Amino acid sequence: RSAMYKVPKLSLRQIRRAVAEMPDDRRQVILLRFVDDLSTDEIAQVLDRSPGAVRVLLHRSLRELAARLEAQS
């Protein structure tokens, strides 16, 4: 596994806190994808954005979440 993908052991509380502290649009796209299990196309319909814009937002959101979680560890 690449070092870029190594994630320290985190509690669910730490993950929830990090997601809750994110800006609304980034938190929403993460929750729609991983909690509601929506596809990129479905998220695009919910957010009234293009699928490409949703992919970019999701990528940036996950990068931010990773940085927040790393800062907690």
pLDDT at residue 3 greater than cutoff 60: no
Torsional sign, CA 36, 40, 42, 45 = positive
Which of 8-12, 13-17, 23-27 shows the lowest per-residue confidence on average (mean pLDDT)? 8-12
Structure tokens of 23?
Answer: 């800006």
**Cα-based distances in Å from 59 to 11, 50, 73:** 22, 14, 21
Read off the pLDDT of residues 16-34 as tens digits, 9 standing for 90 and up. 999 999 999 999 999 999 9
Question: What burial letters (b/e) apply to 8-44, b meaning 16+ CB within 10 Å?
Answer: eeeeeeeeeebbeebeeebbbbbebbeeeebebeebb
Read off the pLDDT of residues 26-60 as tens digits, 9 standing for 90 and up. 999 999 999 999 999 999 999 999 999 999 999 99
